[in-house]
């Protein structure tokens, strides 16, 4: 039986709740990630590169590592006892000089992942995950939360802007054989 601390956050659908993930969630998180990650990829990224990224970064074993890392927090959104979305926060800004320039507030936390299964888009699940992530970051002492989002993903950028994030810079990263451009968005807490 899973003993999780409830955050008390729920979306418009009364059955959607947000909780901290536990080690027992690693397999289900990997399943959700395998469905949701490809939806956020730019069209220039091929299916082999997407599959390789999922295998390397979003497997059950990687989620087990993430859940054991004291500098990360994974939150799950559930409906009917199943994970329908998740978010991941990571303490710090890393070593990328573009991010260091874009995120002047310290200490900062990265909102590394924020995904919801397609059948639950528009139901307030992402907003509930965002509210819980921002609350957790504030309670952990962060002065700001930052994220990178693909420069062509305007829908996601609008969502983040609605939640107080503003574009503060750019970064490049490799996904498979392609260099991708992200905008870096920051929200002071």
pLDDT tens-digit map of 42-56: 888 889 999 999 999
Tell me if 6 is assigned to some domain: no
Tell me if 8 is assigned to some domain: no
Structural contact between residues 58 and 33, judged by C-beta atoms closer than 8 angstroms? yes
The CATH number linked to 51 is: 3.40.630.30
Tell me if 84 is assigned to some domain: yes
pLDDT tens-digit map of 112-143: 999 999 999 989 999 999 999 999 999 999 99
Tell me if 126 is assigned to some domain: yes
Structural contact between residues 78 and 132, judged by C-beta atoms closer than 8 angstroms? no
Structural contact between residues 17 and 2, judged by C-beta atoms closer than 8 angstroms? no
Tell me if 164 is assigned to some domain: yes
User: Is the pTM above the cut of 0.85?
Assistant: yes
Q: Give the rounded distance of the alpha carbon of 152 from its chain centre.
A: 17
Structural contact between residues 89 and 110, judged by C-beta atoms closer than 8 angstroms? yes
Confidence band (pLDDT; 50, 70, 90) for 13? very low
Residue 10 clears pLDDT 90, i.e. is over it: no
User: Following DSSP, what letter does each residue of 69-109 receive, concatenated?
Assistant: -TTEEEEEEEETTEEEEEEEEEES--S-HHHHHH--SSSEE
C-alpha 23/C-alpha 11 separation (Å) is 24
C-alpha 141/C-alpha 50 separation (Å) is 34
Q: Domain tally for the chain?
A: 1
Residue 175 clears pLDDT 60, i.e. is over it: yes
Tell me if 10 is assigned to some domain: no
Domain that holds residue 40: 17-188
Give the angle subtended at the CA of 67 by the CAs of 62 and 71, to the nearest 5°.
110
Omega before 107 cis (within 30°)? yes
C-alpha 153/C-alpha 169 separation (Å) is 15
Tell me if 129 is assigned to some domain: yes
So what's the pLDDT on residue 89? 98
Tell me if 1 is assigned to some domain: no
C-alpha 105/C-alpha 77 separation (Å) is 28
pLDDT tens-digit map of 62-112: 999 999 999 999 999 999 999 999 999 999 998 999 999 999 999 999 999
């Amino acid at each position: 039986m899973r003993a999780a601390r409830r955050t008390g956050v729920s979306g418009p659908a009364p059955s959607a709740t947000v909780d901290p993930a536990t080690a027992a969630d690693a397999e289900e998180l990997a399943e959700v990630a395998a469905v949701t990650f490809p939806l956020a990829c730019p069209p220039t990224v091929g299916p082999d590169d997407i599959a390789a990224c999922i295998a390397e970064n979003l497997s059950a074993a990687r989620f087990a590592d993430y859940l054991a890392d004291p500098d990360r927090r994974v939150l799950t959104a559930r409906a009917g006892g199943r994970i329908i979305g998740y978010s991941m926060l990571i303490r710090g800004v890393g070593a990328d000089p573009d991010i260091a320039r874009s995120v002047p507030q310290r200490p900062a936390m990265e909102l590394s992942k924020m995904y919801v299964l397609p059948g639950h888009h528009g139901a307030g699940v992402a907003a509930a995950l965002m509210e819980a992530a921002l609350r957790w970051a504030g309670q952990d002492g962060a002065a700001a939360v930052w994220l990178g989002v693909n420069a062509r993903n305007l829908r996601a950028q609008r969502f983040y802007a609605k939640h107080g994030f503003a574009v503060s810079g750019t970064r490049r990263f490799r996904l498979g054989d392609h260099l991708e451009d992200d905008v870096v968005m920051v929200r002071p807490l």
